[in-house]
Amino acid sequence: MRNPVKDHLLFIDIEASGLPLQWDVPYSEDANWPHTVQVAWFVYTKAGQEVKAANHYIRPEGFEVSPSSIEVHRLTPEFLHANGEGRREVLLHLQEDLQRYEPMVIGHFMQFDFHVLSADFYREGLPSPFDNLPVFCTMIASSGLTHLPRKKYLRLGELYSHLFHQSLENQHNAVVDARAAAQSYFELRKRRIITDGSISRQQETRYNTQKRPQQKSTRLPLPAWLLLALGALFLIFLLIFWL
Does residue 111 belong to any structural domain of this protein?
yes
Residue 232 is predicted with a pLDDT of 60
Give residue 33's Cα distance to chain centre.
Answer: 9
User: Which residues are registered as beta bridge partners of 85?
Assistant: 58
Does residue 183 belong to any structural domain of this protein?
yes
Which residue range forms the structural domain that includes residue 122? 8-212
Residue 6 is predicted with a pLDDT of 81
Does residue 229 belong to any structural domain of this protein?
no
Enter the DSSP assignment of 14.
E
Measured from the Cβ of residue 15, the count of other Cβ atoms closer than 10 Å reads 25
Distance from C-alpha of 235 to C-alpha of 209, rounded to nearest angstrom:
53
pLDDT band, residue 151 (cuts 50/70/90): confident
**Could you report the per-residue pLDDT of 129-150, keeping only the tens digit for each?**
999 999 999 999 999 887 766 7
Does residue 208 belong to any structural domain of this protein?
yes
Residue 205 is predicted with a pLDDT of 82
Residue 207 is predicted with a pLDDT of 77
**Could you report the per-residue pLDDT of 206-233, keeping only the tens digit for each?**
776 655 544 444 444 556 666 566 666 6
- CATH number of the domain encompassing residue 138: 3.30.420.10
Does residue 174 belong to any structural domain of this protein?
yes
Residues in the chain, overall count? 243
